[in-house]
Structure 1
Amino acid sequence: MTILSLHNDNPLLDGRQSERAMMVRRGVQRLFSELSHAVLAELTLASGRRADLISLSPKGEIWIVEIKTSIEDFRVDRKWPDYRLHCDRLFFATHRGVPLDIFPEDCGLVVSDGYGAHILREAPEHRLAPPTRKSVTFSFARVAAGRLLQAELLTGKAGEGSEMAAIVSGDRD
């Protein structure tokens, strides 16, 4: 269930994504953070599918972002329509090197450069049923708390002055 690699010094990276996908992800995460969203990468959904990014908005909306870094990446992956069952809004995120006209009009579109991102097209809303919202939110909370605990345990003693220790201890809240 966790995505943490025991062979990586950074417990928040799992090593499955390309450098380009990580660049897109960082920019979207920064944008969503500016929008006051809580963001989680690589969340396994009840369907067994894994969302590249999922966020909870200040209003409680659940957004899923599917990251695509090339035309071929988009063409070979046909699982993305299943994500609609688990979110209020579905977005694609990419970078300037990918033609934007390949992405479906009925999904949001975000372009990232790694330092930030811009929503080019808002995603249409399709509200989740309350039981599904509760299930996704509960899963989000459990996984986020579990990852935070693992990150804290991997940093050693809290208060050693490390950046990670400050984050996991709540000093940055």
Structure 2
Amino acid sequence: MANLWPHLCYALALILLATNVVADHDHYTYDCPPPPPPYVYKSPPPPSPSPPPPYVYKSPPPPSPKPPPPYVYKSPPPPSPKPPPPYVYKSPPPPSPSPPPPYVYKSPPPPSPKPPPPYVYKCPPSPSPSPPPHYVYKSPPPPSHSPPPYYYKSPPPPPYY
């Protein structure tokens, strides 16, 4: 509780200082616009004093005095005096005067006079005097000397500090 008093004193001094500054400050005066004039209600004009004229009934016009003319029947025209001409048969045209020429058979041509030459047999050529030399098998050369196999050497481990 003893530590609270200095803080309260500082707060009170600050409030008094702020109040003093606000009191010295010039007051701003706000000029309001003048109030609008009071609203005056204007009532609608009174209804016209004269009432509308009374309704006058107009009857439909009387029917026309003349009745329509009576219906006159018109008969169909009489048939035409001339009958159609009688049907005249037209025969087909006569066949063409010249018949097609008769078919003439043509025999095949006679065989050729010369017979083909007789077949001459040709014997195969005689075998060659010397037989081909025998095939000699040659084995492949021995493999060349191969280098020794490669051995992987891992790098040394990094030094430890």
Return the TM-score normalized by structure 1.
Answer: 0.12
> Hey, which of these two has a bigger chunk of helix by percent?
1
Higher radius of gyration, 1 or 2: 2
Return the TM-score normalized by structure 2.
Answer: 0.13
Higher RCO (CA < 8 A, seq sep 6+): 1
